Amino acid sequence: MYTGLRGRLVITFTLIAVTASAVVAGIGYEFVKSRMIGRAELVAVSNVRDILEGSRVPVGALWPGDGPPTDEEISALQKSLRPQGGKVVVRYEDYPYPDGDFDIKDVPGDLAARATQRMVAKRMTIGGDMWLLIGTPVWRIEPIHTAQPTGMTVFVFAPLIEEERLLSGLRQPLAVAGVAMLIIALSLGLVSARQLLLPVRRLGSAARALGAGHLDTRLPVHGQDELAELTATFNDTAAALERSVTELRALEAMSRRFVADVSHELRTPLTAMTAVTDMLSEEADRLPPEPAAAVRLVLREIARLRTLIEQLIEASRFDSGTATLNVDTVNIVDVVCDCLETRGWSDRVRVNVPEGLAFSVDPRRFDVIVANLVGNALRHGELPVMVTARSTPNGLEVKVRDHGKGIPAKDLPFVFNRFYKAGARGDGSGLGLSIARANAQLHGGTISVRAQRPGTLFTVWLPPA
């Protein structure tokens, strides 16, 4: 699902929605947090300033040379400055006055240094809770209303626990809103992807139908968007493909008829030529060497021509779809031996077929398969040539192997192509192996070829009838 276009669209849509929700929620949360904490900070700073300005504690009257303030005075100052739940640490010159568990050590050094000159504030976490630390010097007011430092610095620890609680309560509604937005975005993404990809799915189905051979497949064009333009282009392409395929089929049919007609027409003069071959063969031995060589060449070429015409006629039957099977249960060893004996190959080929191996094949076409493979091995390979056959759970397996130099590796993928001659060698027509494969395929089987050391191995597999 997630690797398809629909899955990617839904994931992209959802990620955009999640990102937008997170950004909006984050900005909203930070805005509320900033305003809430900032307001609390302003209120705390203002309270400290107001309390110090209105304080009646005599610390404001300290003069140089006076003794340090008493503990009662410090306690009174801490009490007056202490916020609810907060703490106040006082430092007079080098004397610290802690407040409960809070000491001058809890004050950062940079803030303590700046607090001797002016009022400063800083948010910090202590014990897992957020606090606002306000540091300020204490000034005395001279009779001429000039503020002078007293050497005293106060540090007010104002808790922000309530603000943290409010912010924590705000996170849950934001999370719920984010989940709701995610569900809505996912639903909209699924619906939108379905509507968007419906024309694409139709195009895919039409393309598969076109690939299956239904060249009249067309799609209705709706609208004027890019998908409508793509659909129109598909229809134009399908129409052009149908015309081209129709023309190619017509040309192919004409070519097949031409080959079949020519092959049949050649059989008549070839029959007449063949009728005198025996007489010419007998006379060749009594002729002078040069005329005898010419006669033998003519005889050899007539034999080649006869084989070529027979193979062309057989190939035309496969092309026209008129080739049929006449299946019969036969003894495989008898069929193989008859094939070799008829062609005079019995003394040159080793046969290793179990006696009594019976199988249902078309005897004539099976004979053609064996003859083509053995003849190819004898012409282009070297002895010994071996034919083996065995019955397997999947059918009949026949192997033909020679021990020659073998077919070049670059030629192996093409040896079953028509008129292909491996290494441009031999005097064959290049049709034998293609006809053997066509006969095997007509049985529902296959022929494969594999290089050996030495030689070449052809394997025929035929399924049970």
pLDDT tens sequence across 366-376: 999 999 999 98
Can you count the helices (H) and strands (E) in the chain?
10, 12
pLDDT in tens, 296-332: 777 777 777 777 767 666 777 666 677 788 899 999 9
Q: pLDDT, tens digit, for every residue of 208-249?
A: 888 888 888 888 887 777 778 888 888 888 888 888 888 887
Asked whether the predicted pLDDT for residue 161 surpasses 80, the reply is no
Q: How do residues 396-425 score in pLDDT, each as one tens digit?
A: 999 999 998 888 888 888 888 877 776 545
For residues 10 and 194, the answer to whether their CB atoms sit within 8 Å is no
List, in sequence order, the alpha helices (H) in 343-392.
363-380
Residue 459 token pair: 């394997």
Query: For residues 351 and 333, what is the distance between their CA atoms, to the nearest angstrom?
Result: 8
Count Cβ neighbours within 10 Å for each residue of 35-71 and write b for 16 or more, e otherwise: ebbeebbeebbeebeebbeeeebebbebeeeeebbee
Take residue 236 and report the two structure tokens written for it: 């134009």
Backbone φ and ψ of 209, nearest 5°:
-65, -40
pLDDT tens digits along 413-456: 888 887 777 654 555 667 888 888 998 998 999 999 999 989 99
- Specify which residues 89 forms β-bridges with: 155
d(CA 359, CA 332): 7
Instruction: Report d(CA 387, CA 447) in Å as an integer.
Output: 14
Q: Are residues 239 and 266 in contact, defined by beta-carbon separation less than 8 angstroms?
A: no
All structural domains of the chain, each given as residue ranges with its CATH number in brackets, are 5-167 (3.30.450), 215-323 (1.10.287.130), 328-462 (3.30.565.10)
The C-alpha atoms of residue 422 and residue 251 are separated, in whole angstroms, by 29
Residue with the bigger pLDDT between 174 and 131: it is: 131
pTM: 0.46
Query: So what's the pLDDT on residue 1?
Result: 44
Contact between 460 and 365 (Cβ < 8 Å): no
pLDDT digits (tens, 9 = 90+) for 23-81: 777 777 677 777 777 777 788 788 877 777 766 545 544 555 566 677 787 888 888 88
Tokens encoding 19: 């990102």
